[in-house]
């Protein structure tokens, strides 16, 4: 078995065993707390540019199957686990995590203390790191210096958004889905409700979107800092008040910025399938699936037309807003789950109902 190093920008070095691709890889190390759902995590575009650490100790025991991908091409830079199963046991399993990551040219490391790594991330925040071979010629000091001087990337969304529109036909409401790095779970939920979906790139203009005469607009999840997606912010600003909208994760942040709110970087983000969120309108608490490193500043909502609707019970941060005048609502978490609990799946039904109500109003005024 080949040995591999995970070197952090603070000089910490983890010694482990290599799996997946043989190449070296650099990225921001993050952790996610889900006990299951590693296949969806590997293929989630919101992890673009990141080396993902799983806090659950045993990963890979049910293998990789054909059905649970959230994107065709994974965007992670590396995969970190305590122990990797070489012999998965599940009737749906087609291959192992090791073989799948090798086929996608993604390196992994196992056998390190993931609890220690998680504590470092929790205390120091965003940490740049590199996965590289363990040999006598590795100059740790030079690598650490290079990591410290490497700027964080800012082009996440343009790397994972499609280059051209494509349809996912249905006979129900027409929805234009702006893809900032969409998980396929969002599209599946719209398809279940027979929506006639047109998926468009992140930089599609408001004029182009409205030319398709949508009944509603979905703003998808995606990776990175929402302030880097100025084209998306401008598009959404020009769509407010024109068509019902529903935003998820990065889509929630982009809509909030387009409405005049501010965002900020969380110390270590929210990633996993066990985050409690309270709906301030009903008092109901849902366990939610989350994957984001930024959040909307609640105090900045005061000077906007947005109303706070959901808060995270772990740290009190903003988890959802609703426009006071127009039929638009957004949430920071993932109601489509994939992986995670489906407590908030009903929000897709609320979106359908909102589009139907708007259509009824237009018919009355016609």
Residues with a catalytic annotation lie at 249, 334, 336
CB neighbour list of residue 50: distance below 8 Å, 6 or more residues apart: 27, 28, 29, 30, 76, 77, 223
Give CA separation, 169 vs 172, 181, 262, in Å.
9, 20, 36
- Calculate the CA 8 to chain-centre distance: 23
Specify the pairing of strand 58-59 against strand 174-179: unpaired
Residue located via tokens 């016609």:
366
**Dihedral angle over CA of 202, 273, 352, 197, nearest 10:** 40
Q: In what order do the strands lie in the sheet with 245-248?
A: 166-168, 196-201, 174-179, 216-219, 245-248, 328-331, 318-323, 306-312, 263-279, 285-296
d(C-alpha 51, C-alpha 42), whole Å = 10
The dihedral sign for the CA sequence 198, 182, 330, 282: positive
d(C-alpha 292, C-alpha 265), whole Å = 9
Secondary structure element (H or E) that encloses residue 287, with its range: strand 285-296
The secondary structure of 110-173 as a DSSP string is ESS-HHHHHHHHHHH-SEEEEEEE--TT--HHHHHHHHHHSPPP--HHHHHS-SS-EEE--SS-
**Dihedral angle over CA of 296, 49, 168, 65, nearest 10:** -120
Residue located via tokens 């992670």:
76
- Cβ of 66: how many Cβ atoms within 10 Å? 9
């Amino acid at each position: 078995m080949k040995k591999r190093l995970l070197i952090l920008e603070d000089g910490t070095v983890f010694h482990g065993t290599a799996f997946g691709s043989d190449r070296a890889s650099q990225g921001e190390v993050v952790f996610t707390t889900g006990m299951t759902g590693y296949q969806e995590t590997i293929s989630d575009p919101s992890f673009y540019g990141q080396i993902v650490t799983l806090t659950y100790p045993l990963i890979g025991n049910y293998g990789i199957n054909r059905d649970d991908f959230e994107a065709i091409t994974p965007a992670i830079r590396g995969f970190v686990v305590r122990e990797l199963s070489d012999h998965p046991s599940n009737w749906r399993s087609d291959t192992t995590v090791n073989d799948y990551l090798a086929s996608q040219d993604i390196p992994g490391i196992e056998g390190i203390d993931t609890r220690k790594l998680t504590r470092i991330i929790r205390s120091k925040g965003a940490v740049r790191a590199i996965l590289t071979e363990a040999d006598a010629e590795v100059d740790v000091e030079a690598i650490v210096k290079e990591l410290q001087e490497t700027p964080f990337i800012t082009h996440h969304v343009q790397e994972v958004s499609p280059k051209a529109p494509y349809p996912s036909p249905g006979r129900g409401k027409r929805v234009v889905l702006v893809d900032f790095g969409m998980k396929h779970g969002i599209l599946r939920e719209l398809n279940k409700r027979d929506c006639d979906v047109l998926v468009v790139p992140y930089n599609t203009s408001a004029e182009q979107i409205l030319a398709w005469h949508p009944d509603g607009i979905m703003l998808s999840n995606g990776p990175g800092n929402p302030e880097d997606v100025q084209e998306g912010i401008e598009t959404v600003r020009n769509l407010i008040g024109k068509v019902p909208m529903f935003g998820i994760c990065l889509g929630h942040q982009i809509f909030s910025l387009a409405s005049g709110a501010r965002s900020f970087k969380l110390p270590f983000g929210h990633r996993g399938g066990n985050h409690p969120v309270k709906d301030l309108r009903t008092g109901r608490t849902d366990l939610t699936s989350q994957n984001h490193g930024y959040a909307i500043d609640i105090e900045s909502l005061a000077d906007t037309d947005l109303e706070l609707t959901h808060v995270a019970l772990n740290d009190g941060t903003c988890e959802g807003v609703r426009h006071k005048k127009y039929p638009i609502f957004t949430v920071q978490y993932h109601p489509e789950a994939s992986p995670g609990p489906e407590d908030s799946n009903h929000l897709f039904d609320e979106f359908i109902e909102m589009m139907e109500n708007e259509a009824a109003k237009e018919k009355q005024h016609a």
